[in-house]
Amino acid sequence: MDAVTTHWEGVTRNESYSALHQQFYAEGVSRRKVMRISHDQMEKLTVIFEQRYIDGLVGMIDEWSKGEEQFSTHVIANTFRWLKVQGITDDRSIRGLFRLFHERGCLALKQMPASFITALAMEGESGVYKAEMLLLQELGNVPL
């Protein structure tokens, strides 16, 4: 680069790059500011995003039932949180499992067949694996 040309408020300026560059110290670098979030703030954000996700699940289940079925947001939230404890945290697995739970009429943990709970609570397997195995066993596929 040899020159720096600017056009500001109708005035065009053309200056030597070398002359401008010498005004700044050689080790000058641009440093980006990184936002720091405290543990408390992160917990609050997690709660907000979790509630948004649960609201989305409730909306999907409402669409599947075409508004004909009554269910509690509290029940969906409890089941969702139980899935998280089991290590099932990816969106595809969660949506697929809720699809299965809706089709089988067991959105609440207390309504869920023991075989579902056993498969999803299995120790030593990843959450995705447990969810996909149950979905393949019960539905024959993993819904998108």
Which residues neighbour 59 within 8 Å (Cβ) at sequence distance 6 or greater? Answer: none
CA distances (Å), 91 to each of 1, 21, 32, 127, in order?
A: 49, 50, 32, 11
* Predicted pLDDT at 139: 87
- Tell me: the pLDDT tens digits for 97-106? 999 999 999 9
- Tell me: the pLDDT tens digits for 66-92? 877 788 899 999 999 999 999 999 999
Q: Where are the domains of the chain?
A: 40-139
Number of Cβ atoms within 10 Å of the Cβ of 39: 7
Measured between alpha carbons, how far is 79 from 103 in angstroms, rounded to an integer? 15
Q: Which residue has the tokens 């609201």?
A: 55
The phi and psi torsions of 12 (rounded to 5 degrees) equal -100, 130
Which ranges of the chain have pLDDT less than 70? 24-31
The phi and psi torsions of 75 (rounded to 5 degrees) equal -65, -45
* Burial of 135 per CB tally in 10 Å (0-12, 13-18, 19+): buried
